[in-house]
Structure 1
Amino acid sequence: MTPGDLAVMVKVGWHPKGTIALGRIASDIWVGPHWNPEAKRPETGFVDLDLTTLLPLDDPFPLANLKLLDPSVRWTPRMCGTEIPVTTAQNLAEIVGAGDD
């Protein structure tokens, strides 16, 4: 990830699951305290985001539609930083009406 890359935020922990935000990576990766005090490592990587499109948490772009958009992407990873093909992210931005792309 580098500044300027497309960013897609997907809610995966509870239903309804799906895309809740789009935007751009706004910083290089930086290290800080892990958000989970019980994590194996005390620190983890972060990036700053400039979010340009926000969708309601209770009405995201559905996970089932993401899987149809690009079945090769693991849309429910167990960690952050999953790479999504640029064309997939651009298509998603067009579908949800993201103003930045």
Structure 2
Amino acid sequence: MHDRQRDSRDGAAGEGERRRRAFLFLVNPRLHYDPYPDWQVWLPMSDRGESIPIEWNTGGRRSGMEPGDAALLVKVGLDPRGLVAVGEVVTRIYVGPQWNPDASRPEAGWVGLRLTRLLDLDDPVPLDVLRGIGPRVRWTPRMSGTEVPLDVALSVEGLVGLGAEETGR
């Protein structure tokens, strides 16, 4: 198949098309958002094959994310740390109210996400496994919005699509 005919979701882009990208989004239970109540609602939805539409902070990033980009949510701040969800970006970045009352700016960047697979917050794909897939990726950055290589994101998406018996988790 000719590269221009390939689905742009796999990262290939024809002339004038934007290349698909991938980004990390952080879940930090030590900050002002306790994710556990949301995960209690969302995990059964994910287990039934439903996607979860959410809005998420983009850290310092104010541009560069587009619908169709890959989204990887990584739990940081408290052990166990690691990947807890995958999905895709469904909106461009927009500015909205700051979620963190300790932040110096009153506004923050936000983006719509559709989570397609959630994992238990206390049983994430461990950072060591993620580092094996993407050894040059900084899996625990200080804020959301860090770009990661698309091939790494696709490998991670494939990993969480497997059953626990196949991933060794």
Query: Quick one: which of 155, 158, 162 aligns to 1:91?
Result: 155
Q: Deviations over 1:35-91 (max 9, x none)?
A: 111211111101110000000001001111111111111100101101011000000
Aligned to 1:13: 77
Q: TM-score, normalised by structure 1?
A: 0.93
Aligned to 2:136: 72
Q: Deviations over 1:7-56 (max 9, x none)?
A: 10000111100000001101000111111112111111011100000000
Determine the C-alpha separation between the residues in 2 that align with 1:85 and 1:5: 11
| Matched letter for residue 146 of structure 2 | T
Aligned to 1:4: 68
| Matched letter for residue 123 of structure 2 | D
Q: How many residues align?
A: 98
| Matched letter for residue 78 of structure 1 | R
Q: TM-score, normalised by structure 2?
A: 0.56
Structure number with greater Rg is 2
Once superposed, what is the RMSD of the aligned Cα atoms? 1.0
Runs of 4+ deviating beyond 6 Å: none
| Matched letter for residue 130 of structure 2 | L
Unaligned runs of 5+ in 2: 1-64, 163-169
Identity of aligned residues (%): 54
Determine the C-alpha separation between the residues in 2 that align with 1:2 and 1:15: 31
| Matched letter for residue 144 of structure 2 | C
Give the secondary structure class of the aligned counterpart of 2:148. Answer: coil
Give the secondary structure class of the aligned counterpart of 1:38. Answer: coil
